[in-house]
């Protein structure tokens, strides 16, 4: 009879939960990467706008141009602050999902280790029974040969 693990269905469930946790973690990591990229792009736009404003100041600029430049810079700063807050929230979520993934993986690994132990014990028992049968057969033959 082949080895059958009594907790196989639980092991499959744990594996499924681990894969689901991994997918959630990958999604959260991609979201964090996107927010970081957006933050970098808006930061670059803000630096470019600041440089442009500094270039037009010495040459004399109309008040409307300065007002527009300052308005653009203030808007970019607000967007940067909002993105930083969203990034922090996304990183906290990713950290939480990482902890969930690690816990799911650990639970699956424990069940897998138990399965390997049970299978090893089963194989050892099978090998012992086979050896016992071989020994009994040898003893029977030896006994029969001595009787003749």
Tens-place pLDDT, residues 114-140: 999 999 999 999 999 999 999 999 999
Alpha carbon dihedral 63, 69, 71, 76, in 10-degree steps, equals: -170
Handedness of CA 42, 48, 54, 57 (dihedral sign): negative
Handedness of CA 21, 25, 31, 32 (dihedral sign): positive
What are the pLDDT digits (tens) for 93-111? 999 999 999 999 999 999 9
Q: Would you state the pLDDT for residue 36?
A: 96
Token digits of residue 137: 């057969």
Band (pLDDT 50/70/90 cuts) for residue 71 is: confident
- Burial 11-21, CB ≥16 within 10 A → b, else e: beebbebbeeb
Q: Tell me the per-residue pLDDT of 13-69, one tens digit each, with 9 for 90 and over.
A: 999 999 999 999 999 999 999 999 999 999 898 888 888 777 777 766 677 777 777
Residue appearing with tokens 């600029």: 61
């Amino acid at each position: 009879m082949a080895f059958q693990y009594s907790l196989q269905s639980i092991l499959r469930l744990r594996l499924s939960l681990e894969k689901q946790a991994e997918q959630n973690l990958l999604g959260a990591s991609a979201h964090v990467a996107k927010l970081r990229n957006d933050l970098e792009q808006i930061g670059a736009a803000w630096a470019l706008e600041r440089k442009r404003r500094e270039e037009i100041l010495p040459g004399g600029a109309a008040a409307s141009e300065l007002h527009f430049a300052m308005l653009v810079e203030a808007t970019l700063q607000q967007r940067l602050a909002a993105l930083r807050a969203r990034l922090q929230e996304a990183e906290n979520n990713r950290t939480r999902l990482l902890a969930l993934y690690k816990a799911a993986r650990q639970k699956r690994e424990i069940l897998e280790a138990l399965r390997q132990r049970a299978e090893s014990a089963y194989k050892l028992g099978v090998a012992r029974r086979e050896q016992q049968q071989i020994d009994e057969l040898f003893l029977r033959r030896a006994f029969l040969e001595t009787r003749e």
